Structure 1
Amino acid sequence: MENLPEKTCSIERLVTQPKLVAAAKAGTKTQQRRDGVYGWVGESFELDGMAFVVTGLSRQRLGDMTDEDARAEGFPGLAMYKDIILKMHTGMIWEEDHLVWVHSFAVKADA
């Protein structure tokens, strides 16, 4: 992917909620959507001492999210993902055309 914007935040801030950290460590969370870029493909980060690596970075419309995407975020389905995201971000409106950055990640192989 070329012409990426500057990072919005440090990769250490990619996954911060304790339940989502636990889901990533359990292997049920493999993606994190953010308004900005937090990490580049190949960049490593740690969650409670466990090493992960960013495996993909892409753009997606919120309206194009599926239940499968929500499961990759660590939620059972899109309805629950949307409900929790709106509760976490007071005042946020779910805009179907809003673009987010999808950070895909996996446990680092040499960890």
Structure 2
Amino acid sequence: MSEQSRKLSAGGRRKRLAPSVKYEVFTLVLTNQATQAEIAAKYGVDRSTIKKICTTAKQGAIEALAGSSRAAGSGTSSDHRPGHRGGAGGSDSPEAGPPRLTAGHGVCL
């Protein structure tokens, strides 16, 4: 089977998933509610599509969290709880970086 024919659905068009479906796919994998193969079969896409969705969602989350920690350091954070320092784990150390998510946590790597 050629690469192009694998990318096409039975109707001859590439299957496009809505952003809300992509989010659902990511949360299903993240919470170990279904395997990537089960989700791919449910939505009629290849497993590589599920992996790409998870990778993209993970990267987007990391970038968003990195942006929010910079905002917290500049005093523009919307979280005004007493004693709240912002950042992951309460550490303002730039070497700490984001926590590593592993396959054991259900995240596509």
TM-score by length of 2: 0.24
Higher-Rg structure is 2
Q: Which has the higher contact order (CA 8 A, sep 6+)?
A: 1
TM-score by length of 1: 0.24
